[in-house]
Structure 1
Amino acid sequence: MTRDQHTSVSNQPEEQVALAAEQALFQPPSEGVEGTAAQAGSNGLEQVEGYVRPEYDRMSTELWTPPTAELPDIGVASFGPPRPAAETVHGPDDRVQITNTADYPWRVHASLLITAANGDRYIGTAWFIGPHTLVTAGHVVFINHPGHPDHGWVQSIQVMPGRNGPSLPFGSVTSTNFRSVRGWTVSGDENYDYGAIIIPTELGATTGWFGFGAWPDADLLKTTGNISGYPGDKPPGTQWYDARGISSVNPLKVYYDIDTAGGQSGSAVYRVINGSRYGIAVHAYGGATVNSGTRITQPVYDNLVAWKA
């Protein structure tokens, strides 16, 4: 991986964030703060009423076409109209709706209302890693579409933790302070598609947050991945969860057959260890048979540590 591509950039020139000091690869993960923690199963799944992890092998590549969302997924701004394999439900839809969104861990996930440079509005998802920092996809905070009126940093993002349709159990906070890296903002490379939202309050101290860490390939391939977020094909502002084993990894990405849809860009791909939750990737893309996220490698870890400081 190219270290320069992970050089941190900000829409606040006076707040450019340097890379954290070099640290040993695969160091212990950053701890989350749980508050009143919900129980998680020993199989790495969240214990969600009505959710049963399917045991069948998905072989079909037939793609499911969602109905039109009220607002478009932020990915459309960078990539154009949804591609044939945009963030995808593969075969039967295994997702279940989370209704107790005011409880941990569900309140860590935030619904986003994004206003782009040209005033266009989009939806996305983010997750807390500290009192004032949420992680999301790079294309949520920076639209990489040269020549498009929305190209560049977005104007603002309204952050709504634990949203449940019209209900906002923790209210909302609007941010105009964002982070990403040169690999995304300059190169538009999906391997570096990650970023952060810095909010002007300490709302994360109320919701709690997730830890995150960089793990070796062999460990990730034995891991159950969990994703919860705000898909645009479901009723607006409702949170949906799914989980499945990690399918494959490469040096920069993690691949999984976990059902998602447009609007979930920026969701945490996380694992459960002894009841604690740790991000392993940032969900960003779909595929014909698997979806994928930007892997939390050591340089990504270093940036997240710096951004949450």
Structure 2
Amino acid sequence: MHTPVSNVPEEEPRAPQAEESPVVQEPSEGTGQAAAGPATSDIEQVEGYQRPDGASAMTWVTPPVEPPEIGEASFGRPPPLTEIVHGPDDRVQITNTSIYPWRVHCYLQITAADNSQWRGTGWFIGPHTVATAGHVVHIKNSGVPGRDGWVKSISVMPGRNGTSLPYGSVTSTSFRSVTGWTNSGDENFDYGAIILPTDLGSTTGWFGIGIWSDSDLLKTTGNIAGYPGDKPGATLWYDARGVASVNARKVFYDIDTAGGQSGSSVYHFYNGGRYGFGVHAYGGATTNSGTRIIQPVYDNFVAWKA
């Protein structure tokens, strides 16, 4: 029996002004294996990785492996795919996924209402709450009888690395999103959450979330890790680059992604911790994009953590 709840944003979009302090919920490193240690810059300290400088030309990713990426359920799969590597591809694979922060990122195995199988990405924001895209938990406009609506179940696998599941798998049938997505399919409201029946996040840890002004975000380096389908099955990959632009409800960035990464955290470093400021959801010819965490989004995530 699954118990989805659809919440309505309570107020108009509002970001803090430049002189205001950010509004944040704190992260936690959990009680799992030793963490990777504090960050010393605005990107993760991954061996062999260096943030690229300057703009780069667009390239299309190889079609993903099975199961297909959850975005195809709502948006179809036009050639070329809609989540894009802005070449050259500088993503780097994370192999030690059992340590913080990598164990916060989750491979999602999704069973839709018609029992079709899909995949996506999510990230812990609390002991039993995984943030993700709205189209991960609720399918819109698929054109397939019996497929639209709340998905049937999602198996959450923190820090998955191929066949290795360092923290096992927990299946949820309880989901959250907002009516801007579930009723209207509006990409400006494409965010949601998975509520776990256990407190696995207390072991893995979680990222904080926060609200930052336009000017602050435009000075920020975005970091994304997730499970792209153009790489070996169910492996975690990372990339980072500066935020390119923002609007009232979205953030845009030239960070390489591919199908399977819908729902990934778009995060940065603040006061020594990792804080999500967006939820990755879409690709584009010059930039990829995610749902921005503004006050109504923040308020819903805080409520879904409770």
**After TM superposition, is the score higher than 0.5?**
yes
User: In structure 2, do the counterparts of structure 1 residues 254 and 111 end up closer, same or farther at CA, with 3 Å as the change threshold?
Assistant: same
**What SS is found at the alignment partner of 2:211?**
coil
Separation (CA, whole Å) in 2 of partners of 1:278 and 1:117: 33
Contact 1:132–1:203, Cα closer than 8 Å, also in 2: yes
Q: Which moved more, 1:291-300 or 1:24-33?
A: 24-33
Separation (CA, whole Å) in 1 of partners of 2:191 and 2:64: 26
Which residue of the other structure, out of 268, 276, 279, is the alignment partner of 2:276? Answer: 279
What pairs with 1:174-185 in structure 2 (closer than 5 Å)? 174-185=171-182
Separation (CA, whole Å) in 1 of partners of 2:265 and 2:88: 22
Q: Tell me by how many angstroms 1:25 deviates.
A: 5.7
Matched, 1:232 2:229: yes
Q: Which residue of 2 aligns with 1:198?
A: 195
Matched, 1:292 2:283: no
Matched, 1:110 2:141: no
Which residue of the other structure, out of 185, 209, 232, is the alignment partner of 2:206? Answer: 209
**What SS is found at the alignment partner of 1:245?**
strand
Q: Which residue of 2 aligns with 1:29?
A: 24
User: In structure 2, do the counterparts of structure 1 residues 172 and 146 end up closer, same or farther at CA, with 3 Å as the change threshold?
Assistant: closer
Counterpart of 2:26 in structure 1: which amino acid?
A: E
**What SS is found at the alignment partner of 2:42?**
coil
Query: Percent same amino acid among aligned pairs?
Result: 66
Separation (CA, whole Å) in 1 of partners of 2:108 and 2:182: 20
**What SS is found at the alignment partner of 2:144?**
coil
Report the count of equivalent residues.
Answer: 295
* Unaligned ranges ≥5, structure 2: 17-21
Matched, 1:161 2:154: no
Which residue of the other structure, out of 252, 256, 259, is the alignment partner of 1:259? Answer: 256
User: In structure 2, do the counterparts of structure 1 residues 221 and 88 end up closer, same or farther at CA, with 3 Å as the change threshold?
Assistant: same
Separation (CA, whole Å) in 2 of partners of 1:111 and 1:294: 19
Q: Which moved more, 1:299-308 or 1:268-277?
A: 268-277
Q: Deviations over 1:38-82 (max 9, x none)?
A: 245443100001111112431x23x22314412100000000114
* Unaligned ranges ≥5, structure 1: 1-10
User: In structure 2, do the counterparts of structure 1 residues 247 and 85 end up closer, same or farther at CA, with 3 Å as the change threshold?
Assistant: farther
Counterpart of 1:50 in structure 2: which amino acid?
A: G
Q: Which residue of 1 aligns with 2:42?
A: 44
Q: Deviations over 1:141-189 (max 9, x none)?
A: 0001164231100000000000010000000000000000000000100
**What SS is found at the alignment partner of 1:29?**
strand
Contact 1:134–1:198, Cα closer than 8 Å, also in 2: yes
User: In structure 2, do the counterparts of structure 1 residues 145 and 33 end up closer, same or farther at CA, with 3 Å as the change threshold?
Assistant: same
Q: Tell me by how many angstroms 1:272 deviates.
A: 0.9
Structure 1 stretches of 4+ moved >3 Å: 15-22, 24-27, 39-43, 82-85
TM-score by length of 2: 0.91
Separation (CA, whole Å) in 1 of partners of 2:252 and 2:225: 16
Q: Tell me by how many angstroms 1:206 deviates.
A: 0.3
Contact 2:7–2:177, Cα closer than 8 Å, also in 1: no
Q: Which residue of 1 aligns with 2:19?
A: none
Contact 1:39–1:46, Cα closer than 8 Å, also in 2: no
Q: Which residue of 1 aligns with 2:52?
A: 54
Q: Tell me by how many angstroms 1:98 deviates.
A: 0.2
Which residue of the other structure, out of 103, 118, 122, is the alignment partner of 1:122? Answer: 118
**What SS is found at the alignment partner of 1:77?**
helix
TM-score by length of 1: 0.90
Which residue of the other structure, out of 176, 183, 187, is the alignment partner of 2:184? Answer: 187
Taking only aligned residues, the RMSD between alpha carbons, in angstroms, comes to: 2.0
Contact 1:20–1:303, Cα closer than 8 Å, also in 2: no
Q: Tell me by how many angstroms 1:34 deviates.
A: 1.4
Separation (CA, whole Å) in 1 of partners of 2:122 and 2:103: 11
